[in-house]
Amino acid sequence: MIEKNSHQDQETIDFGYQKVKRQEKESLVADVFHSVAAKYDLMNDVMSMGIHRVWKRFTIDCSGVRPGQKVLDLAGGTGDLTAKFSRIVGEQGEVVLADINNSMLKVGRDKLRDKGIVGNVSYVQANAEQLPFPDDHFDCITIAFGLRNVTDKDAALRSMFRVLKPGGRLLVLEFSKPVAKPLSKVYDAYSFHILPKMGQLIVNDPDSYRYLAESIRMHPDQETLKGMMEQAGFEQASYYNLTGGIVALHRGYKF
């Protein structure tokens, strides 16, 4: 049985390894992404040595998205998934790039427009916990490297379930727990010693990347997140470990 949190625990929440007031987390996370937005793509390439592109391609391949469908790319940031979905759904389809952070949304919008991706893509500043879309609206929802930053993950999963059409699917691509201890030790050393130095060199902001490393460690592991998706109503929930579990792709359906 899962014990209910104490009143004090309900008033505070993790921000990396810190405990902060629940109502403060959203603005603290916003500050992180305002800081890194301009060089977010560069840092992704450097941090992952380009492997993030493989993880995202696998997500696209598992999405089952077809021409004419409606897709929500939630916490879509600079629009990597949106760009690919835009080509798949075609002129009759629709892709919504939604992000709570206006700086990230602006970078994504400018990047996609520079690539000539217009017409079937719209941009919405939205909180994942209270999505401003009708019930049963999207054929597919993706959230890539965004769920761990959400204050109330259970509320966000329920909100995603609500706006999915029956037969629709959710894909959550997120950093997770390495499956082998040797890999976990190497990953920890990289995250807490090298990553902040990269943040210092590239964006002059080691603290934001220290937070990102900490937020990964506080995120639910693979089985816990699968259970949270089931609690929110998703069926046939499953996950794939990528790069030894450093990243996992969770998938669930609404029937």
Greater pLDDT, 253 or 207: 253
Tokens matching residue 254: 């609404």
Using alpha carbons, select from 165, 127, 120 the residue that is nearest to residue 143. Answer: 127
Q: What is the mean pLDDT of residues 149-174?
A: 96
pLDDT at residue number 34: 65
d(CA 255, CA 244): 31
For residue 193, what are the CA distances in angstroms to 52, 201, 206, 217?
20, 13, 10, 15
pLDDT of 61 over the 70 cut: yes
pLDDT at 79 over 70: yes
Burial class of 58 by CB neighbour count within 10 A (0 to 12, 13 to 18, 19+): middle
List alpha helices for 37-152, DSSP H.
Answer: 40-48, 52-63, 80-89, 102-114
Based on DSSP, count helices (H) and strands (E) in the chain, helices before strands. Answer: 11, 9
In terms of average pLDDT, the best of 16-30, 36-50, 131-145 is 131-145
What percentage of the chain exceeds 70 in pLDDT?
A: 90
- Res. 2 pLDDT band, cuts 50 70 90: very low
Between residues 96 and 77, which one has the greater pLDDT? 96
For the segment 99-121, the average pLDDT, to the nearest whole number, is 93
* Contact indicator for 218, 28 with CB cutoff of 8 Å: no
Find residue 146's DSSP bridge partners.
none
Q: What is the mean pLDDT of residues 112-134?
A: 96
- The count of other CB atoms within 10 Å of the CB of residue 196 is 19
Instruction: For residue 140, list its beta bridge partners.
Output: 71, 169
4 — pLDDT class (breaks 50, 70, 90)? very low
Whole-number average pLDDT of the chain: 88
> Would you say residue 18 has pLDDT above 60?
yes
Per-residue pLDDT, 249: 98
Task: Please name which of 48, 75, 56 lies closest in space to residue 198, comparing C-alpha atoms.
Answer: 48
Confidence of residue 7 (pLDDT cuts 50, 70, 90): very low
The per-residue pLDDT for 35 is: 65
The band of 134, judged by pLDDT with boundaries at 50, 70 and 90, is very high
Confidence band for 57, pLDDT divided at 50, 70 and 90: very high
Give CA–CA dist 255/249, Å, rounded: 20
DSSP code string of 122-172: EEEE--GGG--S-TT-EEEEEEES-GGG-S-HHHHHHHHHHHEEEEEEEEE
